[in-house]
Amino acid sequence: MRYALCRSNSMKKFLPIIFVLVILFLPATSDAKREHLIEGRTMGTTYHITVVADDFKGVAGLKEKIDARLQDINRVFSTYFEDSEISRFNAMNKVGEKFRISDDFIQVMKAGRKIHELSEGAWDGTVSPLVDLWGFGPTQRQTQKPTEAEIKSLMQNIGFDYIRIEEPHFLVKNLAMVTLDLNSIAKGFAVDQVSSLIAAAGHKDYLVEIGGEVYAFGVRPDGKNWRVGINRPQKDAAFNEVYKVVSLHNQAFATSGDYRNFFEIDGVRYSHVIDPLTGHPVTNGVVSVSIIADTGTLADGLATAIMVMGAAKGIQLVNRLENVECLIVIEKSDGRLVDFYSKGFQTDNLTK
């Protein structure tokens, strides 16, 4: 069975980036172990979880536990809930005051700090006001580019370094107007947490997908690795059109792209991917970044960061990291797609 999932700007709770993934499953078999699908909605998107078990009783009660865990995470990171932890932090405008946060929040902030430093600021959890300014937020699409004065004004409040992490569970603002939106790593974190929950329930073979972020553990019923397809990164591609296929075993996988989420004014294309160092949409030609890593949180954040960094710097970064691989796709002016791989990134043959 093959199906594709898509993110759209109409989704609530979490502001989506773009969905660029196709999950490839086995057809039903008569083997003792079978794939059992658990699906639902969370964080303004959908989730699909496949657990390999002898019968449905083996996964009974798992969906309720998953939904409860995802609801907890949503209460922390959703900027659409006024009483969520992140919304309450954003509303606080006092410099130097300690704001107590949960275990989930501190884990994601620490991961964000790591990705921010690794990417030399290309990933930045405070960039959301610029995304909104350029018309890619929850409000309607921009019909004209913002002025340099508007960009410069907002840039004064952008910077992950304006937020200090203090042990054991506190955040401190060094700038009153700085705000957070951690959507670009929160779904990856949710994938990690759900994967841990499934493992704790005793399952050894499963695939978790939330809004396009994936963690694959163990193997399929036929003993082979899980396989995930990357959507062809061009605006005219069908949502289930496979460009490349990757094989995953005990690994997380995330893909970011800009080929469906952009606008054009006077023939100039403006991407939804905003460079937090310039305040402008990126113009590096990157249309898709796929990351394999040990955790969904890291894969999710690096995919976003490298969209900003570009192919050369992105490949250099990934080749320095252990257990991380990437595929970066650039679209040339004539429409050709050019692939850039890290040292260990491999793709499967589509006919397997």
The predicted-structure confidence for 168-225, as pLDDT tens digits, reads as follows 999 999 999 999 999 999 999 999 999 999 999 999 999 999 999 999 999 999 999 9
Condensed to tens digits (0 to 9), the pLDDT of residues 323-342 reads 999 999 999 989 899 999 99
Give the per-residue pLDDT at 140: 60
Instruction: Give the start-to-end residue ranges of the domains of the chain.
Output: 2-74+184-341, 78-183
82: CB partners within 8 A, 6+ apart: none
Q: How far apart are CA 124 and CA 116, in angstroms?
A: 6
pLDDT score of 105 more than 50:
yes
Confidence of residue 64 (pLDDT cuts 50, 70, 90): very high
Q: What angle do CA 47, 288, 180 make, to 5 degrees?
A: 65
Mean pLDDT for the stretch of residues 225-241: 91
Confidence of residue 12 (pLDDT cuts 50, 70, 90): very low
pLDDT score of 268 more than 70:
yes
Q: What angle do CA 239, 210, 46 make, to 5 degrees?
A: 65
Q: 195 and 65 in contact (C-beta within 8 Å)?
A: no
Q: 309 and 119 in contact (C-beta within 8 Å)?
A: yes
- Encoded amino acid at 10, one letter: S
**CATH architecture of the domain covering 2-74+184-341:** Roll (3.10)
Give the tokens for residue 189: 């974190």
Q: What percent of the chain has pLDDT over 90?
A: 76
DSSP state of 53: E
Mean pLDDT for the stretch of residues 149-167: 97
Condensed to tens digits (0 to 9), the pLDDT of residues 281-309 reads 999 999 999 999 999 999 999 999 999 99
CATH of domain 78-183: 1.10.3980.10
Q: Among candidates 222, 242, 246, 226, which has minimal Cα distance to 234? A: 242
Confidence of residue 22 (pLDDT cuts 50, 70, 90): low
* Residue 105 CB-half CA count within 13 A: 25
CB atoms within 10 A of CB 80: 14
Model's pTM, two decimal places? 0.89
Q: Among candidates 249, 197, 212, 211, which has minimal Cα distance to 72? A: 197
pLDDT score of 6 more than 90:
no
